Structure formats: structure tokens, C-alpha cells
């Protein structure tokens, strides 16, 4: 399975046009949006309509520029777009776990609660974790000399051992790739990244 992932587009229609063109190519099976599709929810319906036109499933989580509520009110009108914030979604032989919004905290009690549930249900599955904020302690959350990512995300990754982690939020680390154990961790940025899941 091959997917196209991106984050932090912030409503840039020129970049969106390029992403849509790439997503429509035959080799791409799925599109993943790791938050901040918009600039404070501006033109949300227009952007969603464009993503829907790809004709393939588009999995979306909110960033810190969208709320779950606003996305839910729009996504439901577009059959190819799926909001999976705080949800698990099975696609082929992978389970995609989505957790968006936020981005500025080192810990998250709500995520810890959900992570316990997910671990109980999906520990034997092949996992793709999609968050808006990066996990703590990688090249993807390093600003200057400090790590600013989420420690609860990191603990969950170490425990459940996903195949892939997709995140965004920090523009300074767009395009970076790192690992946590055997998990590949990527910030695809606004230009997007094609990822092959075998």
C-alpha cells in the first residue's frame, strides 16, 4: 500500500493543486492529512471539496487551526473524506489511529486514556499512528536544542510499536524522518511525502 501524507497546508491552494495531482496517480492508494489543512478554518468547505475530488479515501485529523466540531460539520458532506480524530480505522491490513488538535503540550491526559484503550484493542495489529503534534525526543520535535514534542505519544509508540507515525505541526521540521525503535516517524510537511507500507 502506498499513501500520500501531508500536514500544515494552511489553505495554500497552489500546493494543494500539486498534492491532488500526485494523489490521483495510480500508485497512490490513500491520502492522509495530519492537521492544519486550513488557516483558522478559512475556506474549509472549498478545501474539502478539492480533496474529495481525488476520488480516493482521504483520512483527516484536525490540527490546531481546526476544531473537530467544524471538520465534522463539513466532512460528512464528502464521501471520500473521513475524519478519524480519536478513532481507529481499518484500511487493508493496517489500523490507522488518529489524534489531532493541540500541538503545544508535553503531556496529554485525554490521549493517555485513549491510548490504554487502543493498546488493549490493537496491540497485535499493524498500526499507523497519525497525530498533529510530534512525539517527544526525535528530530521532528527539536527546536534549537530543545525537544518540544509530546511525551505521552512517545510512550505509546514505544509500547504499541507502530509501523509508521505521521505528524506535523512544527514547520521547522517539515520533511524530516526519524525512528522510535522500529517505527518510522515522519513529518511530511505541506509539500507531502509518498510512503510505501509493505
Domains of the chain, by residue range, sit at 2-196
User: What is the rounded distance in angstroms from the CA atom of residue 167 to the CA atom of residue 173?
Assistant: 10
pLDDT at 198: 80
- Separation in Å, CA 163 to CA 19, 54, 67, 190, 193: 24, 26, 27, 22, 16
- Separation in Å, CA 21 to CA 26, 32, 183, 194: 11, 15, 29, 13
**The C-alpha cell of 192 is what?**
507531502
User: What is the rounded distance in angstroms from the CA atom of residue 125 to the CA atom of residue 116?
Assistant: 15
pLDDT at 176: 98
As a CATH number, domain 2-196 is 3.60.21.10
- Separation in Å, CA 172 to CA 33, 39, 118, 142: 18, 17, 30, 9
pLDDT at 60: 98
Strands, E assignment, the chain: 2-6, 30-34, 58-61, 81-83, 87-91, 94-99, 126-131, 142-143, 146-147, 164-166, 177-180, 183-186, 193-196
pTM above 0.85, yes or no: yes
The pLDDT averaged over each successive group of 10 residues in the chain (198 residues) is 98 98 98 97 97 98 96 96 98 97 94 98 97 98 96 98 98 98 98 95
Contact 153, 135 (CB under 8 A): yes
pLDDT at 49: 98
Amino acid at each position: 500500500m502506498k499513501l500520500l501524507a501531508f500536514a500544515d497546508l494552511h489553505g495554500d491552494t497552489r500546493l494543494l493543486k500539486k498534492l491532488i495531482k500526485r494523489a490521483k496517480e495510480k500508485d497512490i492508494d490513500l491520502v492522509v492529512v495530519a492537521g492544519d489543512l486550513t488557516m483558522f478554518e478559512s475556506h474549509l468547505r472549498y478545501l474539502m471539496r478539492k480533496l474529495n475530488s481525488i476520488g480516493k479515501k482521504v483520512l483527516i485529523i484536525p490540527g490546531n487551526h481546526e476544531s473537530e466540531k467544524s471538520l465534522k460539520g463539513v466532512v460528512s458532506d464528502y464521501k471520500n473524506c473521513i475524519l478519524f480524530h480519536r478513532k481507529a480505522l481499518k484500511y487493508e491490513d493496517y489500523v490507522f489511529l488518529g489524534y489531532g488538535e493541540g500541538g503545544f503540550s508535553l503531556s496529554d491526559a485525554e490521549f493517555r486514556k485513549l491510548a490504554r484503550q487502543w493498546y488493549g484493542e490493537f496491540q497485535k495489529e499493524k498500526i499507523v499512528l497519525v497525530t498533529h503534534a510530534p512525539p517527544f525526543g526525535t528530530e521532528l520535535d527539536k527546536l534549537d536544542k530543545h525537544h518540544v514534542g509530546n511525551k505521552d505519544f512517545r510512550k505509546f509508540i514505544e509500547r504499541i510499536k507502530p509501523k509508521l507515525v505521521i505528524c506535523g505541526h512544527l514547520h521547522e521540521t517539515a520533511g524530516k524522518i526519524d525512528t522510535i525503535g522500529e517505527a518510522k516517524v515522519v513529518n511530511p510537511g505541506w509539500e507531502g511525502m509518498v510512503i510505501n507500507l509493505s
